[in-house]
Amino acid sequence: MTYRAPLKEMRFFLHELAGVDEVCGRAPFEEASPELVPAILEEAAKLAENVLAPLNGAGETDPPTIVDGQVRETAGFAEAYRQFAEGGWAACSANPRFGGMGLPHAINSAASEMWAAANLSFSICPILSMAAIETLESHGDAELQRKYLENMVSGRWTGTMNLTEPQAGSDLAAVRTKAVPAGDHYRIFGQKIFISWGDHEMSENIVHLVLARIEGAPEGVQGISLFLVPKHVPGEGGAPGERNDLGPIALEKKMGIHGSATCAMVYGEEGKGAAGWLIGEENRGLSYMFTMMNSARLHVGLEGVGLSELATQKAVAFAAERVQGRPLGRRDSTIIQHPDVRRMIMFMKSMTEAARAISYTAAGALDRSMTGDAGAPGAEGARARARYELLIPVAKGWNTEVAQDVASLCMQVHGGMGYVEKTGAAQIVRDARIMTIYEGTTAIHANDFIGRKMQRDGGAELSRLLLDAGETCALAAKSDRLANAAGFVGESVSQAQELTQWLLKESDETRAAAAVNFLMGCGTLIGAWLLLKSALAAEAAMEQDPHFHQSRIRVCNFFAAQVLPRAVAHFSAVRHASLPDQWLDDMALGI
């Protein structure tokens, strides 16, 4: 079985949920048109299916190595990256002023899903580069943009994110990497760990975005600045020049994503320090880095979608061929005839489509925030930006937790065959596991959702989302095909509305204890709402493609009946989170 991009589903969700047609042709997406979308997706699918997917196994069995202080990536990856860059894929959503295609983020999201599904290890490199481009365009000065952005947008140079240190994981207040002023730039000294694609030979240069403290800066996150630190300092003509004082000292031996070069990096090992240039103002580095992190978090959520899609396709292909048992008295039947196998596959498919719906909706909200007047209170852009920011922790946190369930069920469908390497099911489980951890653990995103995103406006945007969901339920209740699903979703909407108001009145401790269950409950509900919304659109277009649109309705009804009850359980757990001190004590721990 090999990956095949689900283009019809992608186009449907881009049109019905992301609203791509509404933003194409409007600034800053003047160069995009709805008619281009199918062709772009088809070309992206060709690269994913024919170039990246065949290398997925190679990255697993022949991971990168360090030779003479330089990372050598898996054989074939450099040629794949050359095709990726020459195809202009690094430039999808980048500003045309720097050579970008200026496409809506929703279209780029669909392409990113394909990269992740076809070869997760490979996809991490260009995704981080795109996030670095966005950060430099948003916060870098004109000179840095002139020197670096065109080469990054073209794909000739790649970008990385350097946050984590041995003593500073999620707690970035503990960052110790230092920056010493040296004329018009700085010298960077320190060590960073878990740097995805921190070194390789696929591109001419690597542009590291590094968090560090300028000497004398305040303690904590208030004293962190952001620096651009190139692997090779550009010469007068802009071509990569001398090697900077930085490099990889080790490659992490990981549970999964073996084809991705995850480096421990040292800056200033030779003693002179790595030349780095300040991005923006001193001591505002963490706020700038949130631009990069939010971009990366949207894409990690899409990794969850991509790997879920791959797992579902693999399970369906295996179940359709594997002869085992006698389901309900049938003889010599493939296991896809077993009721529970069908249940598992439908669970996988509906969860994958719900996750895709959330990610594409978030990307569509980002696009609308850029086309509307984001500066005017209550304007279209401001409302869309609030929706995007609310959905980011859901797209990252919920989607990646879903990927764990779907990957596990893929192995379950394979049975014992899934536990051996030749089927590829085990690799999916290993690769998926990191997604709930990097770019912030599920709890970090849950606390962001229930804390900053819900509390900062008194629950106003979440309440607006729930009102939108309620309106969808009212419309769907009139449909014979969707009335039951509308009832199930409506009940969960009412629960979420009540819990939102209750949580706003509770203590910070209670909200922290309830955060993960609230995120998972809301993610499940939002997924159900968006599937219901898409099913209404499918019903209206039934005559155009009866089989496809009927499938959207069946997926929605299955999710509402079989998956949405999880939201009820999560919401019940939220209600009982008011006494976290009683959950575990020294006696229970045995100390």
What's the 3-state SS for 485-547?
Answer: HHHHHHHHHHHHHHHHHHHHHCCHHHHHHHHHHHHHHHHHHHHHHHHHHHHHHHHHCHHHCHH
Pairing of strands 185-196, 178-182: antiparallel
Same domain flag for 175 and 58: no
Q: Are 3 and 341 in contact (CB under 8 A)?
A: no
Instruction: Print the domain residue range for 544.
Output: 446-580
Q: Mapping DSSP to helix (H, G, I), strand (E, B) and coil, where does residue 230 land?
A: strand
Domain assignment of residue 431, yes or no:
no
Residues linked to residue 189 through DSSP beta bridges, in sequence order: 178
Same domain flag for 132 and 257: no
- CA dist 252 and 214 (Å) reads 28
Same domain flag for 124 and 172: no
Return the DSSP state at 374: T
Domain assignment of residue 312, yes or no:
no
Domain assignment of residue 362, yes or no:
no
Amino acid letter at 371?
Answer: T
Same domain flag for 173 and 210: yes
CATH number of the domain encompassing residue 54: 1.10.540.10
CATH number of the domain encompassing residue 265: 2.40.110.20
Same domain flag for 209 and 236: yes
- CA dist 124 and 112 (Å) reads 10
Amino acid letter at 171?
Answer: D
Same domain flag for 171 and 96: no
3-state helix, strand, coil in the chain (%, to 5): 60, 15, 25
Whole-structure pTM value: 0.96
**Which of 282, 302, 317 is the C-terminal boundary of a domain?**
282
Residue 140 structure tokens:
């870098």
Q: Are 345 and 336 in contact (CB under 8 A)?
A: yes
Instruction: Report the number of distinct structural domains present in the chain.
Output: 3
pLDDT digit string (tens) for the chain, length 591 residues: 789 999 999 999 999 999 999 999 999 998 889 899 999 999 999 999 999 999 999 999 999 999 999 999 999 999 999 999 999 999 899 999 999 999 999 999 999 999 999 999 999 999 999 999 999 999 999 999 999 999 999 999 999 999 999 998 888 888 999 999 999 999 999 999 999 999 999 999 999 999 999 999 999 999 999 999 999 999 877 888 899 999 999 999 999 999 999 999 999 988 899 999 999 999 999 999 989 999 999 999 999 999 999 999 999 999 999 888 777 667 678 989 999 999 999 999 999 999 999 999 999 999 999 996 655 556 888 999 999 999 999 999 999 999 999 999 999 999 999 999 999 999 999 999 999 999 999 999 999 999 999 999 999 999 999 999 999 999 999 999 999 999 999 999 999 999 999 999 999 999 999 999 999 999 999 999 999 999 999 999 999 999 999 999 999 999 999 999 999 999 999 998 866 566 666 655 565
Pairing of strands 246-251, 262-267: antiparallel
**Which of 282, 311, 334 is the C-terminal boundary of a domain?**
282
Q: How many CB atoms lie within 10 A of CB 581?
A: 8
Q: Are 187 and 179 in contact (CB under 8 A)?
A: yes
Same domain flag for 46 and 164: no
Q: How many CB atoms lie within 10 A of CB 72?
A: 16
- Burial grade of 6 (CB within 10 A; 0-12, 13-18, 19 or more): buried
Domain assignment of residue 292, yes or no:
no
- CA dist 553 and 219 (Å) reads 55
Active site residues: 439
Q: Which of 238, 162, 172, 227 is nearest to 205 (CA)?
A: 238
Q: Mapping DSSP to helix (H, G, I), strand (E, B) and coil, where does residue 210 land?
A: strand
Domain assignment of residue 308, yes or no:
no
Same domain flag for 496 and 566: yes
- CA dist 193 and 210 (Å) reads 12
**Which of 133, 154, 175 is the C-terminal boundary of a domain?**
154
Q: Which of 188, 174, 271, 179 is nearest to 231 (CA)?
A: 188
Cα-trace Rg, the chain: 24
Same domain flag for 12 and 149: yes
Same domain flag for 175 and 195: yes
Same domain flag for 17 and 128: yes
Domain assignment of residue 288, yes or no:
no
Domain assignment of residue 261, yes or no:
yes
Would you give the distance in Å from CA 434 to the centre of its chain? 12
Same domain flag for 553 and 576: yes
Domain assignment of residue 416, yes or no:
no
